[in-house]
Amino acid sequence: MSESVAVDQPPAPASMPAPAQVKRRNGVIERTLADISHTMGHTLFSEDIARHSGLLQSLDPRVKVISMLALLIAVGLSRNLAVIAGLYGVTLALAWRSAIPVGFFIKRVWLFLPFFTGVIALPALFITPGPTLLSLPFGLAITRTGAMSALFLLLRVSTSVSMAALLTFSTPWNDVLKALGVLRMPEAVILIFGMTYRYIYLLLNTANDMFLSRKSRVVGRLTGADQRRMIGATAGVLLGKSLHLSSEVYLAMQSRGFRGHARAPSVASFNMRRRDWGAFVVVAIVTVSAIWLGQ
Amino acid sequence: MNQVHNETLFDLHEVTFAYEGKQTALERVTLSIQAGERIAVLGSNGSGKSTLLKLLDGLYFASSGVIKAFGQPLTEAAFDDDVFNFAFRRRVGLVFQDTDVQLFSPSVWEEAAFAPMQLGLSKADVHARVDAALRALRIEKLRDRAPHRLSGGEKRRVALASVLTLQPDVWLLDEPTTGLDPRSQSWLVNFIVEQGRAGHTVITATHDLSIVDAIADRVYVFDEAHHVVAQGTPHDILSNTDLLLACNLSHDHVHRHDDGGEHTHPHAHPLAHTHAHE
Ligand SMILES: Nc1ncnc2c1ncn2[C@@H]1O[C@H](COP(=O)(O)OP(=O)(O)OP(=O)(O)O)[C@@H](O)[C@H]1O
Ligand SMILES: [Mg+2]
């Protein structure tokens, strides 16, 4: 989604003034929002990488889903920084072997990390009692224990998020859903996953379209206040649209006989090959040793 | 003309519907539709066509007045009965105007399989129906694609396929030609003709006057006050320029003549024909 919109430029009529060579800057807020929706679109919905050939791409989706869950558990149970760091290293190596540009991968994950962890990790720095590492004004002090637990949290979350990202990058979303189905995940949950993904896609698309259509209509620069007003209005419209969408989709499902308990069609026709079993065994060994070493 | 059975499918008496109790969408609508009829519902934007189809599909319920389908009143209580719900849903299929809401499954195949799965058909039957529908709409190649990533016209075909697998004998089509290229449009017109020949009921909401003659035996016209203002054969309705003009279904056409004079006359496009040879 959100490919740059290629508009064929008609030859400018003679009376059209040539564009002045001035860089026009969009407002900061607008650029940030557009960036976020663009990035989200690319990270969450780009299936380009999943179609490349690479190590993870060649594995059965079921193996990937189970492996991810096992490794997530290992990360969660481990009380040893080195072990978690090691698992992070493994994740990066897998990314590299799966045609995922490692720089891009690290950057994408860390970009969203502050949202998840910052809020929790920051207070932990100060409020955890223990020997003082660094004294700050106002009687605040970063304790050794606090720093350690913040570091743990950060590394745990970044490793877990990386693993989840690895799965979604290397596997088309439909296959992830199917694998969950094969693994006896309740159908309703899978239906919700699938629809959430679709909603986000549709809303991001709508947000992008709204930015574009506004851009095409705005002549001249807007003041900061005007911009904020417009963005507020946009957000309101988006919320209204998502509510409308969910009730309409429900009608569409009802119309085709849906009665609240989903019968999701399963077309899964996966087959485990030798390399899948191999990967399975390797992951099992890594998981068990990580848990054991991490005690 | 199709064989019209003497069974009243839908019977609406003084039906009024308002969204959230405020926004009136249908105002004292009375109409009746026989099994096997092909009906066009004409009206300008906002006149209430989509709302009517949703009422006919038992998705919304009349704020006042009575709607009967197959001789039974359509009420929320009626649909709470699983037996009635099942019988109604398998006979009536609605293709939504907005394909984005109609298509909620992760792949085209699953989208088309949704309805027969809800009917509880066997796996083999589901596969057979889906394959047949994808073939009929020439979208076999799209079977593993995500519906929301398709082009507008492709989405429309998938939406049709997703109802075709239900094999309904009552079709409710909401602006089905929107976004279709000429070839697909004539395919659709043909499809409606075929459904009619098979004895099925097809109710199409549209403001595309060029297809009305081909897809309908009878026409209902809604005005902007959400009333039914006229009904009749396609010929009667399409030749009534005053009516079409009053309902914003045709527009004034300005001609310039060689002598430099200009004159305006109402202008509709009822005579543009679609020829389907397939
Ligand atoms: N979800 C809704 N909530 C509130 N009002 C609505 C809703 N949907 C439609 N309406 C209103 O109900 C009236 C009838 O709408 P409807 O969608 O049935 O028109 P339509 O004939 O299908 O129009 P179009 O040709 O544009 O599709 C309109 O005035 C519209 O504004
Ligand atoms: Mg409509």
pLDDT digits (tens, 9 = 90+) for B127-173: 999 999 999 888 999 988 888 788 888 999 999 999 999 999 999 99
What is the sign of the dihedral through the CA atoms of B196, B198, B199 and B200?
negative
Residue A156 predicted with pLDDT over 90: no
The tens digit of pLDDT for each residue in A27-54 reads 555 565 566 666 555 555 556 677 777 7
State chain B's mean pLDDT as an integer.
86
pLDDT band of residue B278 (cuts 50, 70, 90) is very low
Residues A48, A120: contact at Cβ < 8 Å?
no
The whole-angstrom separation of Cα A173 and Cα A138 is: 50
Section B61-68 average pLDDT: 94
pLDDT band of residue B34 (cuts 50, 70, 90) is very high
Candidates A255, A266, A269: best to mutate against B (most CBs of B within 10 A) is A255
3-state secondary structure of A132: strand
3-state secondary structure of A127: helix
Least confident range of A33-42, A171-180, B65-74: A33-42
Nearest CA to ligand 1 atom 18: B48
The number of angstroms, rounded, from the C-alpha of B43 to the middle of its chain's C-alpha atoms is 13
CB contact, 8 Å: B54 with chain A?
yes
Least confident range of A29-43, A95-109, A272-286, B84-98: A29-43
Candidates B100, B125, B162: best to mutate against A (most CBs of A within 10 A) is B100
Q: How high is the pLDDT of residue B54? A: 94
Domains of chain B, start order: 8-242 (3.40.50.300)
Share of chain B above pLDDT 90, in %: 55
Higher-scoring residue by pLDDT: B59, A230 = B59
Q: Any idea what DSSP says for residue A58?
A: G
pLDDT band of residue A12 (cuts 50, 70, 90) is very low
Interface of B with A in 233-252 (CB under 8 A): none
Q: Which of B51, B56, B95 to mutate to test the pocket of ligand 1 (most atoms within 8 A of CB)?
A: B51
Residues B86, B120: contact at Cβ < 8 Å?
no
Higher-scoring residue by pLDDT: A273, B229 = B229
Q: How high is the pLDDT of residue A4? A: 42
Section A137-165 average pLDDT: 77
Interface of B with A in 150-179 (CB under 8 A): 162-163, 166
Q: How high is the pLDDT of residue A11? A: 46
The most confident of the ranges B60-74, B113-127, B143-157 is B60-74
**Closest to B102 (Cβ–Cβ): which among A174, A252, A259?**
A252
The whole-angstrom separation of Cα B41 and Cα A177 is: 40
Higher-scoring residue by pLDDT: A135, B2 = A135
Q: How high is the pLDDT of residue A23? A: 45
Distance in Å, alpha carbon of B226 to nearest chain A alpha carbon: 21
Higher-scoring residue by pLDDT: A143, B90 = B90
User: What is the residue extent of each domain of chain A?
Assistant: 185-216+227-264
Residue B266 predicted with pLDDT over 60: no
Higher-scoring residue by pLDDT: B49, A142 = B49
Distance B61 CA to ligand 1 centre (A): 15
Beta strand B228-232 with A132-135 is unpaired
pLDDT band of residue B202 (cuts 50, 70, 90) is very high
pLDDT band of residue B178 (cuts 50, 70, 90) is confident
The most confident of the ranges B62-66, B96-100, B183-187, B207-211 is B62-66
Nearest CA to ligand 1 atom 4: B19
The whole-angstrom separation of Cα A131 and Cα A125 is: 12
How much is the pTM?
A: 0.69
CB–CB of A259 and B57 under 8 A? no
Q: Any bridge partners for residue A273, and if so which?
A: none
Higher-scoring residue by pLDDT: B249, B92 = B92
Compute CA distances B242 → A192, B207, B252, whole Å. Answer: 51, 16, 11
The tens digit of pLDDT for each residue in A208-258 reads 666 666 666 655 566 667 766 766 776 677 677 777 777 788 888 888 887
HEC readout, chain B: CCCCCCCEEEEEEEEEEEECCCEEEEEEEEEEEECCCEEEEECCCCCCHHHHHHHHCCCCCCCEEEEEECCEECCHHHHHCHHHHHHHHHHEEEECCCHHHHCCCCCHHHHHHHHHHHCCCCHHHHHHHHHHHHHHCCCHHHCCCCHHHCCHHHHHHHHHHHHHCCCCCEEEEECCCCCCCHHHHHHHHHHHHHHHHCCCEEEEEECCHHHHHHHCCEEEEECCCCCEEEEECHHHHHCCHHHHHHCCCCEEEEEECCCCCEEEEEECCCCCCCCCCC
Least confident range of A122-126, B8-12, B38-42: A122-126
Q: How high is the pLDDT of residue B273? A: 44
> What is the full DSSP assignment across A198-235?
HHHHHHHHHHHHHHHHHHHH--SPPPHHHHHHHHHHHH
**Quick one: A250 exposed, middle or buried, by C-beta within 10 A (0-12, 13-18, 19+)?**
middle
Phi then psi for residue A236, to 5 deg, are: -60, -45
CB–CB of B86 and A257 under 8 A? yes
3-state secondary structure of A289: helix
State chain A's mean pLDDT as an integer.
72
**Quick one: B13 exposed, middle or buried, by C-beta within 10 A (0-12, 13-18, 19+)?**
middle
CB–CB of B104 and A195 under 8 A? yes
pLDDT band of residue A19 (cuts 50, 70, 90) is low
CB–CB of A252 and B82 under 8 A? no
The most confident of the ranges A138-147, B186-195, B250-259 is B186-195
Section A186-214 average pLDDT: 69
Residue A147 predicted with pLDDT over 60: yes
Phi then psi for residue A256, to 5 deg, are: -100, 25
CB contact, 8 Å: B39 with chain A?
no
What type of residue is A265?
Answer: P
CB contact, 8 Å: B107 with chain A?
yes
Residues A124, A149: contact at Cβ < 8 Å?
yes
In chain A, whose CA is at the least distance from the CA of B127? A267
